[in-house]
Amino acid sequence: MNGEAHKAWDEYVQRKRTERLSEAVQVWSALVAGGVDAETVLAIDFVHFGPSQARVENLRGELAENCTVTTESGSDGYWLLKGTTRPYGVTLSADDHLAWVDFMCQVASSHGCVLSTWSLNAPSLDLIVSSEDFDGGS
């Protein structure tokens, strides 16, 4: 990437991080409205994207330590990393969830990628809430 393209990408990544953090607050509110609390076991599924296979594979290497992840070619030349905490569940507080989203944004950014979407599934409540259901833009 040349200097101008790199600057544009960095600005895009920061804008997406801000959007994801806004969505995280909305996601948690929807979870609480559905009965989720800090003791509810959740499964998290997520998607990152990046402009090259190499960047996505590097991110995969880091996230594979704690999640099941796969990579695949996406549309428009982008690459996708899809991950899950399944078959294991996690318990989260509102602050834990926000910190997880922030971490996922930061780790993606460190590899030149972006957190795209995530969903939380509470099987005991038959509830799934996805970040795609909310608008993180301001």
Domain ranges within the chain, ordered by starting residue: 3-133
In whole angstroms, what is the distance from residue 51 CA to residue 109 CA?
12
pLDDT recorded at residue 89 = 92
* Domain 3-133, architecture per CATH: 2-Layer Sandwich (3.30)
* pLDDT given for residue 138 in this prediction: 47
Per-residue model confidence (pLDDT) at position 1: 59
The answer to whether 98 touches 26, Cβ cutoff 8 Å, is no
Backbone angles phi and psi of 16, in degrees to 5? -65, -35
- By C-alpha distance, which of 122, 115, 123 is closest to 24? 115
Instruction: Mark out the alpha helices in 78-120 (DSSP H runs).
Output: 94-110
Give the pLDDT means over successive 10-residue stretches in the chain (138 positions).
80 93 96 96 97 96 94 92 94 97 96 96 97 80
pLDDT at site 120: 97
21 to each of 25, 84, 105, how far by Cα in Å?
Answer: 7, 19, 9
For residues 48 and 113, is the Cβ–Cβ distance under 8 A? yes
* pLDDT, position 76: 87
